[in-house]
Structure 1
Amino acid sequence: MDTRVIGRRIAYWRERRRLTQVEFGRLMNGKSKRWVQALEAGDRQADPRLSVLEDAARVLRVDLLALLADGPAVECVDAVELERIRATLQHHDVITGTDDSDPADPLPVGVLHARVRYGWTSFQASHFASLGRLVPELLIDANRAAARHQGADRLAAYRSLSMTLQLTEAASIKFGAGSLATIAGHRAVTAAERSGDPVIMASACRHLADAMTNDGQPRAAADFALSAAGRLESDLKARGAEGLSTLGMLYLKAAMARAVAAERDDRLAAHDARAVPELLDQAAEHAGELGSDGGNALFTAFGETNVKLYRVAAHVQLSQGADAVAVALDITDDARAALPRERRAHHLADLARAYTQAGQREKAVDTLLDAEAEAKEEVHCRPRTRGLVEDLRLLGVGSAEERLRALAARCGLPG
């Protein structure tokens, strides 16, 4: 074992758990700060005792393999950080929207806005691990600002609070925490309504529709998104790129919700399936009104290219893999490259599933490797994508077996 690598991993996880060296030492059976410094520097001994590493894994609440594995740590939001986000959402002041007891002044709305933008930029760059630390602090800061500011600053604080809750929802969906996403989504809608800003309202509604779909309520999600679109359309069309982008996203989320509902074995499934292309066409119409790919207005990545990505995803959801591949082949490299990194990797994961459905499993493996090259977090961390890796291992991938085996190992999947 390379003790320096192990030491760096211990330091990395200690910092992610927000422990000082002194605090970590106390939890390690009363060790000194100097002892911790030596451990993290790899100077404790040539071959550290397994019992020490087991204690460190217990204190840091990680699997022992996270300290022993080769290569850099995978930057995922883990269960501990999701629980911290959940606990923050359960604070009395955050639930009620009231002031807390902290005597510190609320953040100026400009500073708060910049921090929210940083959080969304991190998400779209697939820097997910930073969100586990940032989101709880943002929730508290944004709630405090909304409770204490007055006038226009209070409305701006509510906009930031809603966008923070939407970020919480998006990250929760990414890591399979459906109920947490729904809680955050409902509160995002409430904060958006208090802001009085129709663009923020539409953004919050599209995120809640996404959360409801992932939490097993796809038909209610589609109805909710379409009701929001009908209510806000005139205001959104008057707000330029941000308004048209959020309006278009409401139709995209409604389309995906209908596609999910169509997979149910009931009398409404055929109706849901027929609605999907109509909703995608409506979104495409709004993308055409933009006249470009939208410039990622309000972190939507909305535009003609993103509509095509949703067509791919909808075909995949409806188990129409060959149709999904055909749509994907119509997307130019330049158009795809203009999208945020997270969106590109997400699309490639969808395309890999499409190739799997179409019986092209070797191509599916290669596409997953492309997704990993774009954003390894999308493949290593996201439960849905890891599940596809597992499915491909069971199905067999011919000459791609060795590549798939190596990918599964990087995902931390058992051999």
Structure 2
Amino acid sequence: MAEACDEARRIGEVIRRARVLQRRSQGDVAAALGYHQSKMSRLESGRGAEDVRVLRTVARELGIPPEQFGLAATPDVPATDPGAEDMHRRTFLAAGAAAFVPPADSVTVRAELVRALLPGRPPAVANAPLDPAVLRDRLGVARRLFHTCDYTALERTLPGLIADLRQATGSARATDAFSPLLATAYQTATSLLLKQHDQGTAWLAAGRAMAEAERSGDPLILASSVRVQTHVLTREKHTAQAVALVRHTADQLTGSYDRRSPEYLAALGLLLLRGVTAASGGGDRAATEDFLSEAKEVARYVSLDRPDAWANFDSTNVALHEVSALVALGDAGLALKAAHPLMRRRIPVPERRAALWLEVARAHSRQGRLADGYRALRIAETCAAQDVRRPAVRELVADMMARDRRRSLPGLHEFSRRLGVPA
């Protein structure tokens, strides 16, 4: 079964790399083949082919030699073994089923988090302390794990924390004390799941965050929940809706910055930065500039760069988002120019330090400067090793490898193997 899984993933990577080299989206290739985009996504992840004819169709569209899928050169030429293609099809299908099943330990941890997010009665908790101060401290630990990119520990921490907070909010008298904490825990879960590219469960967590934020009646908690909801919308390419959601919420919070608390301004600032990401991802330069301008204004009045619930908003974070926006908008040269002074600036949050160097790597890659991009990736790894192992970064590395046709950067290929990117 392990060999079948590896073969399925290898075929999926062949398809993905061929598509990336042609600068085509999954939707574009799927439309040309008469498929839904989700079918291409399943194929590239190593699952979902019902018939060897599907592989031949994809091979023709992307110019992939059928031999790379273990098929005969043409359907009219029989394989050495007459049952070879059918055997390969069964192998691929078996691997597709296996691809749904990650390692047992990972399954257990993720299942616990999903159970904690499901509606209904929360999981039973034995003798858990329900003191607000204790739970607030535990939430602070979880937030620090996120900002220091210890995602493995965070995924183990969240289920118990969420279960305890849900039990605590079960008391009507405790709603005011615990609902803001539970909403923030849901927000943290959403951010973690998006890092792991688990959009399906992220939608669930974001919905729970919004519901609990409304229950709390705290406008700042609601703004933070809107921010993670916007992140999910952006990840799913609903950028226009994401921009509209940020604009609507921010309009209700702006003004009188000199009389607002640091927490209030940080919540607003982080929401505006999420608007920057959504607008630039959708190619909306005007909205990107508007959100950046407002975020810079808010940053004049606040500086919160601690790895806690309101962390990570100050002028440096605004500048980091400007770099990211320039990369997203295709202005790689301007992005590198904007990034240069940040490279010498102290950035206390590891996730943000890694984000800077990952954007620098993307900008260099866009310019075809693969060696510089590889060096930036290595620096990002020293900042936050787990963050560099995210699917989005592995895709960047795979793209850089595909363009290094002469293998002039052996270090890049070794780096990719350590990340688990298929050769």
Shorter-chain TM-score bucket reads 0.7 to 0.9
Match of 1:321 in 2: 332
Against the structure 1 CA distance between its residues 187 and 129, is the aligned structure 2 distance closer, same or farther, given a 3 Å change threshold? same
> Does 2:286 correspond to 1:245?
no
Q: Which runs of 5+ in 1 are unaligned?
A: 1-59, 64-76, 95-99, 263-271
Distance in 2 separating the partners of 1:346 and 1:295: 16
Against the structure 1 CA distance between its residues 158 and 369, is the aligned structure 2 distance closer, same or farther, given a 3 Å change threshold? same
Against the structure 1 CA distance between its residues 242 and 183, is the aligned structure 2 distance closer, same or farther, given a 3 Å change threshold? same
Against the structure 1 CA distance between its residues 102 and 325, is the aligned structure 2 distance closer, same or farther, given a 3 Å change threshold? closer
Superposed displacement of residue 274, structure 1: 2.2
Match of 2:296 in 1: 284
Mapped contact 2:276–2:288 kept (Cα < 8 A): yes
Q: Which runs of 5+ in 2 are unaligned?
A: 1-100
Match of 1:117 in 2: 140
Counterpart of 2:287 in structure 1: which amino acid? A
Match of 1:303 in 2: 314
Structure 1 segment 12-411 matched on structure 2, within 5 A? 62=103, 78=106, 81-93=109-121, 104=127, 107-148=130-171, 150=173, 153-233=174-254, 238-262=259-283, 272-290=284-302, 292=303, 295=306, 298-333=309-344, 335=345, 337-380=346-389, 382-396=390-404, 401-411=409-419
Which segment is superposed worse, 77-86 or 240-249? 77-86
Mapped contact 2:144–2:307 kept (Cα < 8 A): no
Residue deviations 1:76-128 (CA, integer Å, cap 9, x gap)? x956533432233124225xxxxx66674661111111111100101111111
Superposed displacement of residue 148, structure 1: 2.1
Against the structure 1 CA distance between its residues 115 and 102, is the aligned structure 2 distance closer, same or farther, given a 3 Å change threshold? closer
Mapped contact 1:203–1:246 kept (Cα < 8 A): yes
Distance in 1 separating the partners of 2:220 and 2:329: 31
Distance in 1 separating the partners of 2:144 and 2:292: 26
Distance in 1 separating the partners of 2:106 and 2:394: 14
User: TM-score with structure 2 length normalisation?
Assistant: 0.71
Mapped contact 2:257–2:301 kept (Cα < 8 A): no
Distance in 2 separating the partners of 1:344 and 1:122: 15
Number of residues of Structure 1 aligned to a counterpart in Structure 2 = 325
Counterpart of 1:289 in structure 2: which amino acid? Y
Distance in 1 separating the partners of 2:357 and 2:218: 34
Against the structure 1 CA distance between its residues 82 and 238, is the aligned structure 2 distance closer, same or farther, given a 3 Å change threshold? farther
Mapped contact 1:362–1:399 kept (Cα < 8 A): no
**Backbone CA RMSD of aligned residues:** 2.7
Superposed displacement of residue 185, structure 1: 1.4
Distance in 2 separating the partners of 1:103 and 1:342: 34
Distance in 2 separating the partners of 1:286 and 1:188: 25
Counterpart of 2:109 in structure 1: which amino acid? E
Against the structure 1 CA distance between its residues 358 and 83, is the aligned structure 2 distance closer, same or farther, given a 3 Å change threshold? farther
Distance in 1 separating the partners of 2:143 and 2:420: 27
Against the structure 1 CA distance between its residues 194 and 234, is the aligned structure 2 distance closer, same or farther, given a 3 Å change threshold? farther
Mapped contact 2:353–2:383 kept (Cα < 8 A): yes
Against the structure 1 CA distance between its residues 389 and 308, is the aligned structure 2 distance closer, same or farther, given a 3 Å change threshold? same
Against the structure 1 CA distance between its residues 245 and 392, is the aligned structure 2 distance closer, same or farther, given a 3 Å change threshold? same
Match of 1:414 in 2: 422
Superposed displacement of residue 289, structure 1: 2.2
Distance in 1 separating the partners of 2:256 and 2:142: 27
Superposed displacement of residue 349, structure 1: 1.2
Superposed displacement of residue 297, structure 1: 6.6
Distance in 1 separating the partners of 2:342 and 2:139: 31
Mapped contact 1:218–1:261 kept (Cα < 8 A): yes
